[in-house]
Structure 1
Amino acid sequence: MTEERFTELLSRKLAGEISPSELTEFKGYISANASYGKQYESLKSYWKQNEESYEDIGKVFEKIKSQTDIPRREAEGQQQIKIPRFNFSWITKVAAVFLVFGVLAVLYHFTLSRFFSAEDTVYSWKQIQVPNRLISSITLPDGTKVTLNSASKLKYPESFKGSNREVYLSGEAFFDVVSDHQHPFIVHTEKMKIKVLGTAFNIRSYANDREKQTTLLRGSIQVTFPDNPATVMLKPKDKILIKDGTYELGTQTYYNEAEGSLMETLWMSNKLAFRNESFESLANDLERKYGVKIIFNKNSIRDFKFSGEFEKENLEQALLSLKIVTPFNYKIKGNSVYLY
């Protein structure tokens, strides 16, 4: 009865039709039970009052999923359903609340419960987030070594259980994966899923970079995409680039072939190398290396192209070097750099 009463009061609260005495009772439930408070906070941000229309309830479902602590799994073969515009009465709003609770129940049953099955149980997740200007290394529970570039985030389980070893990356990282043919290693990024058995490869997948890429140094990897049915197998020295929704195959690039240094992994030596790179793209690298925010006050200079390398130079030395190649002006104010 307590759960039913709370749901009834929650419906009235979201609909804006709760009486003063009921509001006092509702607040009592929130104060006494933390889970009730979380449910209310999760639902109220999606609720539209004053007879606003619900145009796509699928968006509500996606927002709810994004609030869970479990990394999102890309759904395959989903068909979008357009919901007609309706103005909800109070009774319909009550039904909508039950619908949202139903969605949560279905989500748990078909997604979370499966994720926490006896075979694939992962008890807790850990996360490492590297700030700007730093590079960090970590050894995962299976012995896999990961080097993370600036402004990168890696989410991984406290211990690998089940048939796969899965991690989630945002940013750039070099993986040296321990071979285990019975338990493939899978890296999830925004635009790619990389599956390996034992190999060494570099992934660059920053959210604010237009181009994402994966470069294979040793072994073999399988790359799939959330929005493309293609499956690509890479062999050593292969590179895959994703830009504007399409991908292309290429090969790794030597910065200095005599020394065997690669453009794709030079960052691990704390060097920023670039070749025929637009100023707009280079600005993202400079932000991560120097911990600043770069603002273009003149759009025409975004397309300037540069090639070079920075290692021990400070921010002003780097900007002066670029200015000599192609003239532009800049102003440094605190942690912001204005280009014009």
Structure 2
Amino acid sequence: MQERNQLIVLFQKYQQGLVNEEEKTMIARWLIQLELMGEQLTPIELQAKATLSRSELKNLFFPTEIPKVKVVRFPVWLKSIAASLFIAVAFGTIYYANHHEKELPLLNTFQQTVTQIGEMKVITLPDGSKITLNNQSRLKYPARFSEKTREVHLTGEAFFEVVHDSKKPFKVFTDKLNIQVLGTSFNVTAYPEDEQISVAVATGKVGVMDKSNKQTAAQLLLPGDRLSYHRLNQKFSNSKLAISDINSWDVGKLVFKNETLEQITKQLQRYYSVKFVFKNDSLLKRQISLRTNNQQLATLMKALSLSGNFRYKIEGDQITLW
């Protein structure tokens, strides 16, 4: 009641233009606090509220310049409200922290799937996208994707079937290339020991960027396009593939199109766990095109030797070429 009487006196002084800035600030704050508590304002209080313009209230609480620090002694009932607001904010902060501490570890936790020689695995990601991982490959991905993007890291080869989401792009990171899609299917071959990294598109559109050279423009690939990145000269080359050949390895077929014997033998080493030895280095760059079912190594080597015009000998897990 005493605070009310003090407030009425201040309102009367305000109407007469006798209040200073400190008292004007106190009037504005009290009016707001009374409304927050749901109290009915008296006619004189309503008149004072109407007299205070919006610009005055804004300047009181959001000054354009940093005001000088003033010590204002508030009534006891205002201190109680402040304490209640502090408790409410504290509980809100605790709730937010407890609610999100279960989510943050999932975003920061990565899972990893690895395949061995001659082994393939199918992975279903949190968004429903499916990835078929070829042999001797590794895929690293989060337990749950963030709200803005879907990111995975690949070493080796994989065929991606990505669920479309225009608001959350899907990104594949290799050691040299960044690949981004919204929803499509494509194949990525990125073995560290290979001279080339390749990206081939089965459906949709795929964007590819050289992560080591920001000056290089991103390339947009369409179905049937294959982009190869050459590690030595850091250049790109483009070619065309039949859609059915893009993930032929996934269905038990091997398709080589103008690939060097060196590239082919590296793939066969991963499939059959054998070692190739070249007695004639000129054979390394010999190009071969061959389509065959994934069959016994002896049969495959016979077909390769006829296509590439070379001789070979199989001794245990070593194959010598000349």
- Which TM-score bucket, shorter chain as reference? 0.5 to 0.7
Question: Offset of 1:203 from its aligned partner?
Answer: 1.0
Residue in 2 that maps onto 1:228: 213
Kept in 2, the 8 Å contact 1:120–1:162? The answer is no
Per-residue displacement from partner, 1:122-177 (whole Å, max 9, x unpaired)? 23211111122222211111111001122211111112124221110011111111
Match of 1:333 in 2: 315
After TM superposition, the structure 1 = structure 2 runs for residues 314-329 of structure 1, keeping only pairs within 5 Å, are 314-329=296-311
Q: Post-superposition shift, 1:121? A: 6.4
Distance, in Å, in 2 between the alignment partners of 1:120 and 1:220 is 33
Alignment of 1:286 onto 2:268: yes
Which has the higher mean CA deviation after the structures are superposed, 121-130 or 162-171? Answer: 121-130
Q: Secondary structure at the match of 2:172?
A: strand
- 1:237 aligns to 2:224 (yes or no): yes
**Quick check: 1:238–1:249 contact (8 Å CA) kept in 2?**
no
User: What is the aligned partner in structure 1 of residue 146 from structure 2?
Assistant: 161
The 1:339–1:226 alpha-carbon spacing in structure 2 relative to 1, beyond 3 Å, is: same
Q: 1:291 to 1:119 in 2, by over 3 A?
A: same
- Separation in 1, partners of 2:285, 2:225: 27
- 2:251 corresponds to 1:269: yes
Question: Match of 1:176?
Answer: 161
The amino acid that maps onto 1:210 is: E
Q: What is the deviation of 1:188?
A: 0.2
- Structure 2 residue runs of 5 or longer lacking an equivalent are 1-100
Q: Which SS does the other structure have where 1:261 is aligned?
A: helix
2:238 alignment counterpart = 250
2:126 maps to 1:130: no
Gaps of 5+ in 1: 1-115, 255-259
Q: Between Structure 1 and Structure 2, how many residues are aligned?
A: 218
Alignment partner, residue 195 of structure 2: 210
Residues 248-303 of structure 1, C-alpha deviations (whole Å, 9 max, x = no match): 3534312xxxxx623x2211211111123221111111112212121223212223
Letter in 2 for 1:239: R
- Indicate the residue corresponding to 2:178 in structure 1: 193
Aligned partners of 1:220 and 1:233 also within 8 Å:
yes
Instruction: Find the aligned partners of 2:126 and 2:312 in 1 and give their Cα distance.
Output: 46
CA contact (8 A) 2:106 2:144 kept: no
Alpha-carbon distance change, 119 to 184 in structure 1, aligned in 2, over 3 angstroms? farther
Distance 1:191 1:120 in 2: 28
* Length-normalised TM-score, structure 1: 0.59
Q: What is the distance in 1 between the residues matched to 2:166 and 2:104?
A: 17
Mapped to 2, the partners of 1:278 and 1:253 lie a distance apart of: 16
| 2:254–2:294 contact (8 Å) kept in structure 1 | no
- Asked whether the 8 Å contact 1:278–1:304 carries over to 2, the reply is yes
Whole-angstrom distance in 2 between the partners of 1:163 and 1:120: 17
For 1:250, give the aligned amino acid: N
CA distance in 2, matches of 1:317, 1:261: 23
Provide the rounded CA distance (Å) in 1 between the counterparts of 2:247 and 2:293.
Answer: 14
The residue that corresponds to 2:288 in the other structure is 306
Q: How far apart in 1 are the matches of 2:223 and 2:130?
A: 19
Structure 2 SS opposite 1:285: helix
Cα RMSD, aligned residues only? 2.4
- Percent identity of the aligned residues? 33
- Structure 1 residue matching 2:247: 3-state secondary structure: helix
In 2, Cα distance between equivalents of 1:241 and 1:222:
13
Cα distance, 1:287–1:157 mapped onto 2, change above 3 Å: same
Distance, in Å, in 2 between the alignment partners of 1:138 and 1:304 is 36
Instruction: For residue 107 of structure 2, give the secondary structure of its aligned residue in structure 1.
Output: coil
Superposed CA deviations along residues 88-115 of structure 1, whole A, max 9, x for unmatched, are xxxxxxxxxxxxxxxxxxxxxxxxxxxx
Return closer, same or farther for 1:312/1:211 CA change in 2, 3 Å cut-off.
closer
Distance 1:120 1:183 in 2: 20
Partner residue, 1:143: 128
